[in-house]
Amino acid sequence: MCGIAAALSIAGAARVESLRELAGRMARAQAHRGPDGAGEWDDGRACALAHRRLAVIDLSPGGRQPMQDAGQRYTIVYNGELYNFEALRAELAALGHRFTSRSDTEVLLAAWGQWGLDCFRRFDGMFALAIYDRLDRKLVLARDCAGEKPLYYARRNGMLLAASELRALASCLPGGSPELDARGVFDYLALRYVPPPRTILRDIHSLEPATVLVVSEGGGEERRGFHAFDRVVDPPATSLDEAADALESALTSSLERRLIADVPVGVFLSSGVDSSLVCALAARKLGRGMRSFCAGFAGGDEDETIAARRIAQALGLEHREYSVSSADLLSLAADFGACLDEPNGDRSCVPVYLLAREMRREVTVAISGDGADELFCGYTRYLGFDEALRRAPAPDPRDALELYYERALPVFPPSTLKPLFAEECAAWRDDFLSLYAPVVARPGWSGPQRLSVLDYHSYLPGAVLAKVDRMCMRHALEVRTPYLEASVLKLAAGLPPDLCADGRTLKPVLRRLLERHLPAGLVAARKIGFGMPQDFMQAHRAQFASMFAVACEALRATPFFSARTEAFERLVALAPGNVNSLWAFTALGLWAQSCGLAR
Amino acid sequence: MLSRLASFASGSDLTIFGKEAALDAAPSQAELPIMEIVAHAAALEAGGDALADATRVRVAAYAERFSAAARPVQGINVFVYHVDLPADARIDYIDAKLSPGEFDYLDIVARFVARVRAHCRQAMIYLVTSPGARYRELAAPDVSVVELPADPAQPMYERACALLAYAESRAFSRDTVFLDSDAFVNRSLEPVFSLGFDVALTYREGPRLMPVNEGAMFLAASRPEAVRAFLRRRTQIYDLLLDDPFVTRYYGDVRRWRGGQLSLNALAYPLFPCSPYRAWEAAGARVRLLPCDTYNFTAGEGEAPSSLDRLDERHVVHFKGQRKYALALAARAERGAAAAR
């Protein structure tokens, strides 16, 4: 787990000294992602790579990056983990490759040399990488299947620049950081995140998950995909117990591979089904007694801590709790914006950030239950969709999705944004809603199945995984997600509708499996999550009002909103309408302030 | 099931062969993994973007016919190409075999027209066929029969040329659905064009299947030059296949069959693995890949399970290969009912 940076000269437009300096600066701006080492490399001509290392497997210098293959054709910087690297190493060794370290980076490099683009289909892992090919004079950027690891890129002054974090890239762009992007702002206000390939900043792109981008020194770009998640239409019949059996096998196997590390490993434990199941399988099936960690809220009525404590006791886990306090909020107000790499309106960013800080004192790697809600249909907001479609059948499938964002997932409802951002709203409908419209048309899918596919491709990478990566990597805590593994994905994709949501019971397969390992009373009846509860926000309304005021002033002073005063004042009036819009707008303002966008 | 259906409809014992069978009874050569063939075709490089002379002349001549046949229309256009294969022109490739003479194609095309009328109001059908063919009897205000001087023994090549010619003619003024004559419209297709593309192709999965099926294509009229560029490139690849030693050694002459689908897959190859939730570019066009299970449904194809439940939710139902016996069965039943009345 690390931070990476790359700079490529296009058509000889940039000198290698500039490339070297930029790559180094971007890497240093990401030093928090990799406190265990730093490395830089350039080819003396057209490409420079830089790396910050968080050592997790093979702590020796053998895993140092940038790393070159034996023939010195390929040089790599890589952020992530390959969980099947030992099997791949054996396969590659049988093909004649020789290895000098225990590092998965060396295996990845050999896999690229052996299989080229096809290598990515063989990987079980999370990664974002840059490989420079000295022979073909091209830079390869790639990002893992679900989008666990981030990768941003931009072209400026005859260069292609890439980095793990948006701020690092933006702050190093020649000519200064770009302005807010109107479409990015609209997406953020409507969704609370900006889906790839856009970002909140103009001209900076986020590489889409499961994508390889090859950029030649001549400037040409080739884009390829290597994975495509979708649910099965007409899945074969299966029983709840059969599905639970299959999930137990797949998830345990995935988890076992994700527990391999040369550093201490812990686990996020809420009282929810997803993380409880991960803990249960680790403890009961694999005999691993990990430390578990949970966050709660001082003064709030609704949090996870009590139930999580009981689950940990039942499983014999060494459990830690962290209570988010007023003091935390006060301290965060000053620099939370800087912790957000890209604006993220998810209310659980704060507790995850604080909990990760505490966890990092004891562990370097943490297992999480992320991805289960999108794969196994865990969000309660999915439940009304079938009924909404029945009541208002829409000939244009985009209308159905717009209704979902309007009613079920409210940040700033699109109808309120339309008068303020007419052009952006129309474009959002034409590309974002059009892109996912096929989920509405698939025969036989239930509402939860339709929306979960939409969320897997958009909300999961854009909000959930971005939050996990940034909030945790701020403290150099590596998070691993056992649900996001190929065989678990395949199993989830093949579930019939009633095993995704049975009436109002969500994730019935996970519940059935968890019931085998925990007393029934400990299997959560409903989801709470780590998000800041409304009553906590109400109890600390003075602090939140203060943060909101700071955020408003920062946004008002940006050139973007200075030129849109009417829209801005309307947003300020609308934001307190619900906790999601209030927090999303606050997070955007704090982020803008920390980036120096306010002038 | 298909075998039983075929036997029942035809009144004689029939055996399923080709892709529908697990393996051919006595293959004359080893069958290659289908993706190996597609990858090879995708790697073929042309020296420029011009079509082969014969193709270029053919397309230009056909485009004039389409322009002459163009009619003003309020709805979408539907393009369907059908010629009767000569009696001695069996389709006998290593992975595709068919005896078209077993089916009553006039009845099939008439049913095709009726399905378009039922679901796509105000649509204009361009029924492309050979001069003097019996299909001209289907001409109507909403059916423009375009007779092309095409070689009936090489239908797939001629069809690819005809589609490009159509796109380059005045007839391509509306969003257009290209369909096999046995791919029946089952829902209104206009909403498909809201998905944001220049060209949408349909895909399926199966170890012996090319991912993209040629039987249903959606061509948006909002950026006609992009569609033309895509189809021109596809036709150019077809030309390359005709002279490629690997392809001709494996398949023989792909003008009759396989070439249309292979050229389309070669063009779409950089977009694999197929996902309906990506929109990328190929040959200058914005391309979407849409799942056959929803937009071009064939029951029992490939390895994926399929159900005849919720048939009304499939946009197009494709009676590929031996499935056309179901249509023969329907025709027999209707004749019986009519006689009884």
B275 contacts A441? CB cut-off 8 A: no
Q: What are phi and psi of B262, to 5 degrees?
A: -65, -40
Domain boundaries, chain A: 2-225, 240-377+457-535
Contact of A396 with chain B, judged by CB distance below 8 Å, is answered with yes
Q: Which chain A residue is nearest to residue B270, measuring alpha carbons? A: A224
Tokens linked to B93: 């490739």
- pLDDT confidence bin for B220, thresholds 50/70/90: very high
Cα–Cα distance measured from residue A587 to residue A414, given in angstroms and rounded to the nearest whole number: 19
Cα–Cα distance measured from residue B96 to residue B163, given in angstroms and rounded to the nearest whole number: 22
Closest CB to A236 among B291, B305, B315: B305
Range A463-491 average pLDDT: 96
Task: Report which of A217, A214, A128, A211 is spatially closest to residue A166, judged by C-alpha positions.
Answer: A128
Query: Contact at 8 Å (CB) between B165 and B302?
Result: no
CB neighbour list of residue A441: distance below 8 Å, 6 or more residues apart: A397, B294, B295, B313, B315
Cβ neighbours of A208 in B, within 8 Å: 278
Cα–Cα distance measured from residue A368 to residue A352, given in angstroms and rounded to the nearest whole number: 11
Task: Report which of A489, A433, A482 is spatially closest to residue A231, judged by C-alpha positions.
Answer: A489
Cα–Cα distance measured from residue A7 to residue A22, given in angstroms and rounded to the nearest whole number: 7
> Which pLDDT value is given to residue B5?
55
Range B298-314 average pLDDT: 83
Range A275-301 average pLDDT: 88
Cα–Cα distance measured from residue B116 to residue B135, given in angstroms and rounded to the nearest whole number: 16
pLDDT in tens, A116-135: 999 999 999 999 999 999 99
pLDDT in tens, A152-164: 999 999 999 999 9
A396 contacts B191? CB cut-off 8 A: yes
Radius of gyration of chain B (CA): 19
A434 contacts B196? CB cut-off 8 A: yes
Helix (H) or strand (E) holding A6: strand A2-9
Q: Which chain B residue is nearest to residue A213, measuring alpha carbons? A: B270
pLDDT in tens, B145-172: 999 999 999 999 999 999 999 999 999 9
Tally of helices (H runs) and strands (E runs) in chain A:
27, 19
A444 contacts B313? CB cut-off 8 A: yes
Edge-to-edge strand list for the sheet holding A478-480? A318-324, A291-297, A265-268, A365-367, A478-480
User: Distance, in angstroms, between A245 CA and closest chain B CA?
Assistant: 21
> Which pLDDT value is given to residue A301?
60
> Which pLDDT value is given to residue A395?
80
Contact of A549 with chain B, judged by CB distance below 8 Å, is answered with no
pLDDT in tens, A99-121: 999 899 999 999 999 999 999 99
CB atoms under 10 Å from CB of A100, counted, come to 8
Examine the pLDDT at A59 and tell me if it is beyond 90: no
Interface of B with A (CB under 8 A): 188, 191, 194-196, 270-280, 290-291, 293-295, 304-307, 309-310, 313-315
pLDDT in tens, A237-267: 999 999 999 999 999 999 999 999 889 999 9
Closest CB to B195 among A223, A235, A437: A437
Q: What are phi and psi of A156, to 5 degrees?
A: -160, 135
B194 contacts A397? CB cut-off 8 A: yes
- pLDDT confidence bin for B29, thresholds 50/70/90: confident
> Which pLDDT value is given to residue B201?
98
CATH code linked to domain A2-225: 3.60.20.10
Query: Contact at 8 Å (CB) between A129 and A77?
Result: yes
The DSSP code for A236 is P
Tokens linked to A448: 């939860």
More confident residue, A542 or A526: A542
Amino acid in the structure at residue A334: A
> Which pLDDT value is given to residue A581?
94
More confident residue, B34 or A532: B34
Tokens linked to B147: 């007779």
Q: Which chain B residue is nearest to residue A435, measuring alpha carbons? A: B277
Examine the pLDDT at B8 and tell me if it is beyond 60: no
> Which pLDDT value is given to residue A559?
96
Closest CB to B194 among A222, A396, A444: A396
Q: Which chain A residue is nearest to residue B314, measuring alpha carbons? A: A443
Cα–Cα distance measured from residue B105 to residue B138, given in angstroms and rounded to the nearest whole number: 12
> Which pLDDT value is given to residue A299?
64
Task: Report which of B125, B155, B130, B160 is spatially closest to residue B140, judged by C-alpha positions.
Answer: B125
Tokens linked to A259: 């527990």
CA atoms within 13 A on the CB side of B166: 30
Range A580-595 average pLDDT: 94
Cα–Cα distance measured from residue B111 to residue B105, given in angstroms and rounded to the nearest whole number: 9
User: Distance, in angstroms, between B280 CA and closest chain A CA?
Assistant: 8
Q: Does ipTM top 0.90?
A: yes
Examine the pLDDT at A549 and tell me if it is beyond 50: yes
Query: Contact at 8 Å (CB) between A111 and A67?
Result: no
Angle between helical axes of A508-515 and A273-280 (0-180°, round to 10)? 40
Contacts 24+ apart (CB under 8 A), A37-44: A37/A64, A39/A64, A39/A65, A39/A66, A40/A66, A41/A66, A41/A68, A41/A75, A42/A16, A43/A16, A43/A75, A43/A132, A43/A134, A44/A16
B80-B139-B220 Cα angle (round to 5): 35
Please give the domain boundaries of chain B with CATH numbers for all domains.
2-7+30-340 (3.90.550.10)
User: Distance, in angstroms, between B339 CA and closest chain A CA?
Assistant: 37
Cα–Cα distance measured from residue A393 to residue A391, given in angstroms and rounded to the nearest whole number: 6
Token pair 């570019």 in the structure block, residue: B281
More confident residue, B283 or A389: B283
Cα–Cα distance measured from residue A391 to residue B103, given in angstroms and rounded to the nearest whole number: 44
Cβ neighbours of A226 in B, within 8 Å: 273
CB atoms under 10 Å from CB of A386, counted, come to 17
* C-alpha dist (Å) from residue A36 to A52, A56, A63, B48: 7, 10, 11, 52
Which pairing describes strands A67-68 and B316-318: parallel, antiparallel, or unpaired?
unpaired
Per-residue 3-state assignment (H helix, E strand, C coil) for chain B: CHHHHHHHHHCCCCCCCHHHCCCCCCCCCCCCCHHHHHHHHHHCCCCCCCCCHHHHHHHHHHHHHHHHHCCCCCCCEEEEECCCCCCCCCEEECCEEECHHHCCHHHHHHHHHHHHHHHCCCCEEEEEECCCCHHHHHCECCEEEEECCCCCCCHHHHHHHHHHHHHCCCCCCCCEEEECCCEEECCCCHHHHHHCCCEEEEECCCCCCCCEEEEEEEECCCCHHHHHHHHHHHHHHHHHHHHCHHHHHHHCCCCCCCHHHHHHHHHHHHHCCCCCCCEEEECCEEEEEEEHHHHCECCCCCCCCCCCCCHHHCCEEECCHHHHHHHHHHHHHHHHHHHHC
Among A488-492, B34-38, B97-101, B102-106, name the one with the lowest average pLDDT.
Answer: B97-101
Tell whether omega for the bond before A197 is within 30 degrees of 0, i.e. cis. yes
Examine the pLDDT at B1 and tell me if it is beyond 70: no
Q: What are phi and psi of B286, to 5 degrees?
A: -80, 120
Examine the pLDDT at B23 and tell me if it is beyond 50: no
> Which pLDDT value is given to residue B16?
45
Range A338-343 average pLDDT: 92
pLDDT in tens, A8-25: 999 999 999 999 999 999
Radius of gyration of chain A (CA): 23
User: Distance, in angstroms, between A222 CA and closest chain B CA?
Assistant: 9
> Which pLDDT value is given to residue B306?
78
Closest CB to B306 among A230, A234, A397: A234
Q: Is this prediction's pTM over 0.80?
A: yes
Fold entry, domain A240-377+457-535: Rossmann fold (3.40.50)
A434 contacts B194? CB cut-off 8 A: yes
- pLDDT confidence bin for A530, thresholds 50/70/90: low
Contact of A495 with chain B, judged by CB distance below 8 Å, is answered with no
Mean pLDDT of chain B: 90
Closest CB to B276 among A230, A398, A443: A230
Residue contacts between A and B (CB atoms, under 8 Å): 85
Cα–Cα distance measured from residue B211 to residue A114, given in angstroms and rounded to the nearest whole number: 25
Closest CB to B277 among A233, A436, A444: A436
